[in-house]
Structure 1
Amino acid sequence: LTSREDEIIGGQTNVVVTFHPTSGDALGGQNAFPDPESYINTGNPQLIFVRVTSTLNGDWQVTTMDLEVLPTIATAPENIYVPDEDLDGFTEFDLTANEIAMIGGQDPINFIFSYFEAEADCEANMNQLLDPANYQNIANPQTLYVRVERLDNGCVFCESFDIETDASLGVESLLAETIAIYPNPTQNKITLQWDAAVQVERIAVYALDGKLITTQVVSQDSTSSFINLSETADGMYFIKISTQKGTLTEKIIKN
């Protein structure tokens, strides 16, 4: 409350300012708030009564001030997911898509939104993205930061959100369709066959605890291979197939 004292006294000296819950308290000089520097409002809006008393002759005057808490945002920004037609993990995002939901029906004219790649830049209001409605990601997924400034009360805050394409899901689905793994379950060996365009580079088998069981480097012109599991204990394993287009991981069973 004391942040308004200079405005209330208007340059006067030798005065004491106190804040009170009712007009009667202010008129009687009673029940002043003991900690006006850290006062927590009890209503929204709330009327506060202010008493200004001269330390020279005891004269006093009473005035009022209004307290009102204005919400900054209604909800944190949602993560943004965009389809990626060429499955390279990079595409354009409209970072402004969350703005209406964030302010929750408040007047957009009271807000300024800015977007940043680094949290420190968001806090310092530096290096903001110039075209947030057509932003191309530099990683997938990628964390970005939005700075929201409320013009009518000066409140500022930064929030993070993620952007991501469906490239990883798309690549996995594509590889699952073009790489055959059989038989599964198996008693001895697993055979793999794939289209020449896939270009498998490496095949590895892992135990459920992440321990590497076996690995195999695949020659560039190969379209098939097999993994010998005859000496491997029965159980479930993961087979990881690394290609030039991405990675496919599948469960296999040895029995």
Structure 2
Amino acid sequence: MTHQPHRTAGPGAVIEEITALGPFFAVATHPAGAPPAGPWQPLTGPLLAERAAGVRAYLAAAGGQPPEAVEPRVAASVAHLGLAARLVSPALAAAVLHGRVLGCDLGAVRWQPALGGPVPLSLPDDALLPPAAAPSAGRLADAVARRVLDGPLAELAGLFGASGVSPHILLGNTASAVNGAATALGAARPELAARARAFTALLLERPPLRPQRGRTPAGAFRRRSCCLIYRAAPGRAGALCGDCVLHGATA
């Protein structure tokens, strides 16, 4: 099966179309090797630790609790999931809309670490690789897995692993982010929903996400770990996410 992008377009047009999908897809660009100055920041360990602390306070306030009531690893997992979604969403859109790979080292990414919504994201202007000649969907999935999932997404998980979140949960967060990006893409462009789902299924079949692919009896995505957000509620009795492994669990 050959992937059929809508049309050949220049990098600027591709980024513009991706950004038009909504705030979880929106990206700015900066010259490769010349990242923008503040308020743009690198995704460093200390800044991510500050992000997790901010998320901890936010989750605690939502439940009318002091920050100490929320476990640090819960906040770190939730912070990781949100950032993973921001990184993977534009990459998924580039693949589905144009059959192209959008990815770079995490050190080249810049963000504005504000709470309360999708963080602004800027990528180097060489992050969008040149289009391949009529790539098959499988080869495109291989390239996205190698360039994005094993690249900045793996680097991001490694940084959050220092916060005590298990690799199993971090992989589950990444898988959930991929699935969520497909859902958001289908909502923004319904005519692309089936293509987005098909491509996402290919990504979930590839390392490193293969151990995380699971399905409900009805065929919906079900991750094989929990992001832990339910534990942020008073009594650790919050609602479960729709794709959570704990649905139907007996323990």
TM-score bracket for this pair, using the shorter chain length: under 0.3
**TM-score with structure 2 length normalisation?**
0.21
- Indicate the structure with greater strand content: 1
- Indicate the structure with greater helix content: 2
**TM-score with structure 1 length normalisation?**
0.21
Higher relative contact order at CA 8 Å, sep ≥6: structure 1 or structure 2?
2
